[in-house]
Amino acid sequence: MGNRTVLITGGAGFVGSHLADDLLERGYSVRALDNLSPQVHGPGAKRPDYLAPDVELVVGDIRDEAIVRRAVDGVDAVFHFAATVGVGQSMYQIANYTSINGDGTAVLLEALAQKPVERLVVASSMSIYGEGLYRTADGELVPGTERSIEQLRGHDWEVRDVDGEPLTPVPTPETKCPAVPSVYAISKYQQERLCMTVGRAYGIPTVGLRFFNIYGTRQALSNPYTGVLAIFASRFLNNSAPLINEDGRQRRDFVSVHDIAQACCLALEKSEAADQVFNVGSGEHFSITEVAERMAKVLGKREIEPEIVGKCRVGDIRNCFADITLAREVLGYEPKVAFEDGLRDLAEWLEGQTAVDRVADASKELAARGLAV
C-alpha cells in the first residue's frame, strides 16, 4: 500500500507517533488528528518534538464532526488510537471517558460511513478481559472471576475457584469472554465493537488489536494514570521507590512499542486480518516486582527498593497475559524486542527527560473516592 495516506487518530501520542515513523519509512503519507490533551502533552501543549516532521498534524477533538470530516478526507486507511487512557481515573471521570472514547469513535465512524476507507484498525485493550484465563488444580481451563472487595480488604490477592482453591493463570486467548471491569475497559470494548460492527456494515475491512501493557520511549511520564513502566521510571528518576500494589506478584505481559507498531503495519497490509481481533503482546509475562527490580538494575538505581503498599485499585485485576498464537498465524506477527533491550532503550531516553511525579496525587484522588482498598 505504498503512496497511500494513512490517518492516525491520537497520532501525536506514544503509540501513534511510533507507528507514524514506521509508516513513513514504508512509504506512506501520514496524517495525525490529535487534540494534544494536556494530561498527556502538558498544559498549553505544542506539537511534540518527537513527532516526525513529515506527519501532517490536524489539531482538534475526535468528537468534533467538522474536524473529523476534514481529517478523513483523502485518506486510504485509518488507525483509531485517540482515547483517554487510565483505568483508575476512568472510575471517577465516567462521563469524560464515555464521551471521548465512545462518542469520539461514533463521530469517526459516521464520517467513515460516508467516505469508506480500505482499512480501519482500532486500538483495543487487554483491559477488556478483566481477569485472564486460569487453570484449576485438575487442569480445567476457567475464566478468572473478579475478586470481592471483602477478599481484597483481607489482603487475599489470589483469584480462587468456588471452593476457595487458588487458580493458576495461563495465557489468555481472544476467545476469553470480556469481563470489562472498569469504565475504561467498557469504553475500549465499546470502541472495538463499534468499529468492528460499523466496519462490517459499510464494507470497511476492520481489524481490532487488543494491546497488552505497552512500554517504550515517548510514553507520557507525568501522566500518573497510565503505563506502569513509565510510572515506575518517573519514580526512579525522582529517586523515589516505585509503589507496588497488592503483593507485587501479579503478572502482566509487557510489549515494546516497536512490536506494537510492527503488528499495526501487518494489520494494515494483511488482507486475511480483516474483520478479526488479535491480541498483541510479547507472549512473555513477569510479575510487577520483577519488572521494578529489572528496571532499577537497568537504570543503575538498585539501591532504591520497590515499596509494596499492599493496596489494590478497585477495578484492577490480578493476572492477564497474552496468548499471541492467532496474531502469529494470521498476521505473521513475531515480537522482536527482548524485554532487557527494550528497558535499556527506555533508560537511555529517560536520561534526557524530566518527569513531574504526580503518583501521590493520583493515589490520593482514588483513596478519597474509596477506589483503593
User: Of 78-86, 151-159, 163-171, 326-334, which part binds ligand NAD (CB under 6 A)?
Assistant: 78-86
Is residue 85 within the footprint of ligand NAD (CB under 6 A)? yes
DSSP 250-307: -EE-EEEHHHHHHHHHHHHH-GGGTTEEEEES-S--EEHHHHHHHHHHHTT-TTS--E
In the complex, the smallest distance separating the C-beta of residue 3 from ligand NAD, rounded to whole angstroms, is 26
Task: Tell me how far apart the alpha carbons of residues 175 and 75 are, in angstroms, rounded to a whole number.
Answer: 32
SS3 89: helix
- Interaction between residue 15 and ligand NAD (CB under 6 A): yes
> Under the criterion CB under 6 A, does residue 81 sit at the interface with ligand NAD?
yes
Residue 37 vs 152, nearer CB to ligand NAD: 37
- Asked whether 3 and 23 are in contact (CB, 8 A), the reply is no
Pick the binder of ligand NAD from 132, 178, 224, 227 (CB under 6 A).
227
Which of residues 96 and 240 has its CB atom nearest to ligand NAD in the complex?
A: 96
Residue 86 interacts with ligand NAD (CB under 6 A): yes or no: no
Cα–Cα dist 8/71, whole Å: 9
Q: How far is the CB of 259 from ligand NAD (least distance, A)?
A: 12
260 or 273, CB closer to ligand NAD?
A: 260
Amino acid identity of residue 10, one-letter, is G
What phi, psi does 71 have (nearest 5°)?
A: -70, -35
Q: From edge to edge, which strands make up the β-sheet containing 141-143?
A: 141-143, 133-135, 168-170
Does 372 bind ligand NAD (CB under 6 A)? Our answer is no
Q: Distance (Å, rounded) from C-alpha 135 to C-alpha 141?
A: 5
| Interface with ligand NAD, residue 103, by CB under 6 A | no
Is 16 near ligand NAD (CB under 6 A)?
A: yes
Residues making contact with ligand NAD (CB under 6 A)? 10, 12-16, 34-37, 40-41, 61-62, 81-85, 100, 104, 123, 125, 188, 211, 213-214, 220, 227
